[in-house]
Amino acid sequence: MVEGVEQVLPPNFCVTLVRGAGPDEVIGILGGADPVPIVSAQTALLAEDAVRERVDEHGVPHPSDLMYVVATRLGGWTMVIEPNGYLCTDRDVVRALSAAGELVSFYYNENTTPSFTWAAGGRELVRFNPGYPDELYGAEPGRLDGLLTELGFTFGGYGDDPGDDPGDDPDDDDFDADFQERTFALMERMTGVRWDAEHLHAATFRCAGVGGPGSRVAAEPWYAEVREALEAYVADPGDWTGEDFEGWGRRGVTDRRVRALGSAGPAVYDEDRAMAMAIAFAPAELIGRIFMWAWERPFRAAGLVDEPWFGRVRDLVHRGEPVPAQDVQVVEQALDPYLATTVFLPFRQDRAHRANIARGLVVQWDSVNPAADLCWQFARTGAADGRPMPQLFADLWRDFPELRDVVIPPPQPPPRERDAVRRKREARERDAERWRLEDLRNTWGGRIPADPRLLEPDVQSATLGLVPHDRDLIDRIAEAGPRTQRAMAAWAARYCCTRSGMIAEDWVEAGVTALERGAPPPPWFTDFDAAFARWRDVPVESITHRLSVSFGDHAPPPIDPAVFALQAVVMARDDDPLIAAMATVRDAMHLGDPAATSAAFRAAFDLP
């Protein structure tokens, strides 16, 4: 039986074994040339995108129309894997690859019908759907009947139920859910070669873009650049595309050994750079001890490490073995009282959320590498720990002083950027810039501000609420000097208090008057909590803040006009006069007819 291949193969694949032709010869038959060697199936299969697109000398991207294959020797056979491909199901390809020997192929796609093919000497002997193997085709369709029965393939899926028409699709309850496992076992029995995930991890694959038998794409000038993109991938699999999903480039990190901390690594790097660097270069033995220390932390805080079941679970996690479902349930139940007091709002009362946190500590996930796995463990521990991440790292430095002795070597120089890769990067950057500008135009009502201050995040968040009401007014406010902007903010604050009726309160009038005079605020307007407490006549310390999250098309709850008014008086004193003006005028628009409010504001400041 082929073990663990589901961890290596992509969701959709075609796996083919060919006898009588080596890897490079197979790639030549398929219309490719000069394959690139890549170690490990996982690494090789992820290079698919490198051949799907090319960028010409003018920087224009084009689909290459190539299919991607990886091939390696497997005993006396050549294994060919196509991620998301189906080339080896084509009858001309089957004939060409089996002409000098034999072919056994299994195609699977979650959206189409799976297919198994056996051919020899250029003749297709058997072809069938391994999920419903009742109907077999080919020159000798009965040749595999005994072996299929022996391996447990399910027959009789057509027309078993009363009322079924002969042309109907098979019934769902006739489907063989284990057909993938049986098909791989069939391939092993037919070829006599055994392979598993460990073999695929260690094998060297010959990788190329191909155009199909008889194709002349390998002679195209740009084909060499597709190969160059594959070579760039080999030089740096984690960053050859320049996508930088984890944001290491924004942090100025180019060393691949640090980038290998994975998608959870940047959070560690941002919190404690020295810790991230030490983990990136720490020996495996130290990484293993820290992993278990971090894993035990929430259990220790919950007082569970002396429970009879804990040692069994800890040993399984330490060995990297699956924790049985019943033990996972024990962990969920035992941690729940502790998590109920440590998980933050709004999920404090959500037991399902707490169960997910507990399950995340003991259910295995796909391993990237020990250092990256440790960074993810920090995230999982932090979710369950209830203590801030700085405390986690402070305790880690204390308990593992040897981390300070980890030698941090000089950073590796970035790999040389090949021309084909440079063109792809530049094309992506142009696309990204085009989309960025289009998004800005949509955000700003069709006209991107010329004043760069308006694009600063804090200013933008205070300003965008004005876009639907008076886009031109935003530019007029931005053009005004700081003194005028302060006056604009004071005008908008009085407007809000008048519209809401709050100006009738003496203490509100006093706050607005002080604002207009440039005097310090009364104590009840030093911040919003103080103003809210005065309005509600409650102590400031009694005020709590609650976050609510709604999903779907539900309208947000209405905000009391008084709240807008109080906020406007406070916001009018923001340190940045531009933010003060924008935020208060925005609030004023909410409290009156926007057109009338805009007209009154423009008249007050003689704005065109």
pLDDT tens digit sequence for 241-282: 555 566 777 788 878 788 889 888 999 999 999 999 999 999
Quote the number of domains for the chain: 3
> 397 with 459, same domain?
no
Number of neighbours of residue 591 by Cβ within 10 angstroms: 20
Compute the average pLDDT of residues 332-349: 71
Across 572-597, average pLDDT:
95
Both 505 and 378 in one domain: the answer is no
pLDDT at 436 over 70: yes
Residues 208, 257, single domain; the answer is no
* Mean pLDDT, range 341-369, rounded to an integer: 71
Q: 48 and 151 share a domain? A: yes
Write the pLDDT tens digit of every residue in 298-324. 999 999 999 999 999 999 988 888 889
DSSP notation for 93-124: HHHHHHTTSEEEEEEE-TTS--EEEEEETTEE
Of 5-14, 36-45, 132-141, where does mean pLDDT reach its minimum?
5-14
Q: Based on the fold, state whether residues 207 and 65 are members of the same structural domain.
A: yes
Task: Give a yes or no: residue 545 inside a domain.
Answer: no
Residue 469 pLDDT greater than 70, yes or no: yes
Helix (H, G, I), strand (E, B) or coil at 489: helix
> Which is higher by pLDDT, 479 or 432?
479
pLDDT for the residue numbered 198: 82
In a domain, 211, yes or no: yes
Residue 235: name the closest of 84, 421, 101 by CA. 421
pLDDT of residue 368: 67
At 550, the pLDDT band (50, 70, 90 cuts) reads low
Tallying the residues shown for the chain, one arrives at 608
418 pLDDT tier (thresholds 50, 70, 90): confident
Whether residues 152 and 280 share a domain: the answer is no
Q: Does residue 412 lie in a domain region?
A: no
Distances in Å between the alpha carbon of 53 and those of 32, 66, 91, 230, 435? 16, 8, 27, 12, 20
* Residue 393 domain flag: yes
322-331, 393-402, 483-492, 565-574: range with lowest mean pLDDT: 322-331
Beta strand pairing call for 53-55 and 123-128: unpaired
pLDDT at 106 over 80: yes
Q: Of 342, 377, 405, which residue sits at a domain end?
A: 405
Region 350-360: mean pLDDT is 81
- With a cut of 50, say whether residue 163 has pLDDT above it: no
Distances (CA, A) of 68 to 83, 212, 293: 7, 10, 43
Confidence label for 347 from pLDDT (cuts 50, 70 and 90): very low
Q: Per-residue pLDDT averaged across 389-411, rounded?
A: 93
Q: Which of 162-166, 218-222, 410-414, 541-545 has the lowest mean pLDDT?
A: 162-166
pLDDT band at 284 (very low <50, low <70, confident <90, very high): very high
Question: Same domain for 352 and 211?
Answer: no
Q: For 60-91, what is each residue's pLDDT tens digit?
A: 888 888 999 999 999 899 999 999 999 999 99
Between 242 and 221, the more confident residue is 221
pLDDT value at residue 155: 76
Domain boundary among 372, 405, 438: 405
User: What is the sign, positive or negative, of the torsion defined by CA atoms of 166, 168, 173, 176?
Assistant: positive
> Are 129 and 265 part of one and the same domain?
no
Asked if residue 317 and residue 456 are part of one domain, the reply reads: no
Q: What is the DSSP letter of 8?
A: T
Of 174, 205, 235, which residue sits at a domain end?
235
Q: Is residue 218 part of a domain?
A: yes
Position 158 in a domain: yes
Domain carrying residue 482: 452-540+558-604
- 82, 163: one domain: yes
Over residues 96-111, the mean pLDDT reads 95
Q: Which two tokens stand for residue 195?
A: 């392979």
* Mean pLDDT across the chain: 87
Q: Are 561 and 500 in contact (CB under 8 A)?
A: yes
pLDDT band at 555 (very low <50, low <70, confident <90, very high): low
Inside any domain, residue 428: no
Q: What pLDDT was estimated at residue 167?
A: 41
Q: Are residues 223 and 277 in the same domain?
A: no
Q: For the segment 497-513, what is each residue's pLDDT rounded down to a tens digit?
A: 999 999 999 999 999 99
Q: Which amino acid is at 88?
A: C
What percent of the chain has a predicted confidence (pLDDT) above 90?
A: 58
| Contact present, 117 and 94 (Cβ < 8 Å) | yes
pLDDT of residue 4: 60
The confidence score (pLDDT) of residue 57 equals 74
Given this model, what pLDDT does residue 546 score?
A: 66
Indicate whether 226 and 336 sit together in one domain: no
Q: Would 244 be classed as within a structural domain?
A: no
Q: In what order do the strands lie in the sheet with 102-108?
A: 36-39, 204-210, 67-74, 77-83, 13-19, 102-108, 115-120, 123-128, 136-137
